[in-house]
A = this chain, B = another copy of it.
């Protein structure tokens, strides 16, 4: 028991140091800019050795991944009450989107100056990068849950593609937010509400079979051209059905 306590204490201390480095980094990124902030400066400001800083975060990019994870975890916790109680699709979607805006609000300024590093899909900081896959997967799963718990029923043939399209729309919303100068990001909040409304209407319209191939093709286009999307699609396929063929049957048009 005594050694367990020591291990617990060490883990807690380690977590504390990790958090300290991350928070210091975020503060310096905001004050000095992402490009101009070095790991050395972060370590110095946090009062740890450079070696220690690198032990927790291999690079500045890893710090940003840590930042994504933090926002993601806080968001996941904050949306639980909405996902557990609300059954109206539009309200569920608007709820998770505006909650994200609440969680991310303190980092708005950082996001604007950091954007130019994340906009390039080849950057590890892009939401489409291999490095961002855990955060991306979590966000897509959230949209799957938004759909699954709603009264509005989703056609089976769209159940796989809609969460990824919804995540893509969310990335559009985040891009809008990055450049939104309105007080308290009011414009982005309205866009989230309107976007949730429009998405819901689109999903309701999907009861018309004629529309479905178009939605599937749109998804296919994104999956073929955005590396992250394809990864998620392939990963899910493998996980759910090891014998499954390619994403599409021979004829879905």
What chain B residues lie within 8 Å of A120 (beta carbons)?
A: 179
A103 at the interface (CB under 8 A from B): no
A44 at the interface (CB under 8 A from B): no
Instruction: Report A27-67 CB contacts with B as 1/0, cut-off 8 Å.
Output: 00000000000000000000000000000000000000000
SS class, residues of chain A in contact with chain B: helix
What chain B residues lie within 8 Å of A202 (beta carbons)?
A: 214
Bound-complex Cα distance A213 to B197 (A): 13
Bound-complex Cα distance A208 to B190 (A): 30
Interface residues of A in 162-200 (CB under 8 A from B): 176, 179, 181, 187, 190-191, 194-195, 198
Q: How many residues of A contact B (CB 8 A)?
A: 29
Closest CB in chain B relative to A10 CB, distance in Å: 43
Bound-complex Cα distance A214 to B210 (A): 14
Contact pick for A190, options B122, B210, B253, CB 8 Å: B253
The number of times this chain is found in the oligomer is 2
Q: Are B225 and A187 in contact (CB under 8 A)?
A: yes
A74 at the interface (CB under 8 A from B): no
Closest CB in chain B relative to A158 CB, distance in Å: 15
Q: Are A179 and B122 in contact (CB under 8 A)?
A: yes
* Extra 10 A-B pairs, beta carbons < 8 Å, given A202-B214, A208-B208, A208-B210: A115-B116, A122-B179, A190-B225, A190-B253, A191-B225, A191-B253, A194-B224, A194-B225, A201-B217, A208-B211
